[in-house]
Amino acid sequence: MIVEALFAELKNQIGLRRLRLRRLKFVREQFFLAAAAQNIKRLVRFLSKGQRTNVARDDVVLIPL
C-alpha cells in the first residue's frame, strides 16, 4: 500500500480533513493519536484473520518518538 492511501484513510475515515487545534504541538498530538488509531485498527483486522498473510511494510504508519 502506498503512503498516499494511508493519508487518504486518515483524512476520510478517521476525520483528519480539518484539524481542530492550530498550534504545531497540538496538531502533532492529534495526528499521532489518529495514526495510532489507524494502526490499532489494522492490527485488529490482522489478528482477527486467524492466519498469517503477507502484510506489506507500508501497511502501518510508524510514529517517530
Q: What is the pLDDT along the chain (65 residues), one digit of tens a residue?
A: 577 888 788 888 777 777 777 888 888 888 888 888 888 988 888 888 865 555 565 566 666 65
- Between CA 23 and CA 33 the distance in angstroms is 16
Answer yes or no: is 33 within a domain: yes
Of 41, 42, 18, 19, the residue nearest 30 (C-alpha): 19
Answer yes or no: is 26 within a domain: yes
Answer yes or no: is 62 within a domain: no
Answer yes or no: is 37 within a domain: yes
Number of domains in the chain: 1
Residue 9: the pLDDT is 81
Residue 50: the pLDDT is 65
pTM of the model: 0.60
Answer yes or no: is 65 within a domain: no
Answer yes or no: is 55 within a domain: no
Residue 28: the pLDDT is 87
Residue 59: the pLDDT is 63
What range defines the domain where residue 14 resides?
3-50
Residue 45: the pLDDT is 85
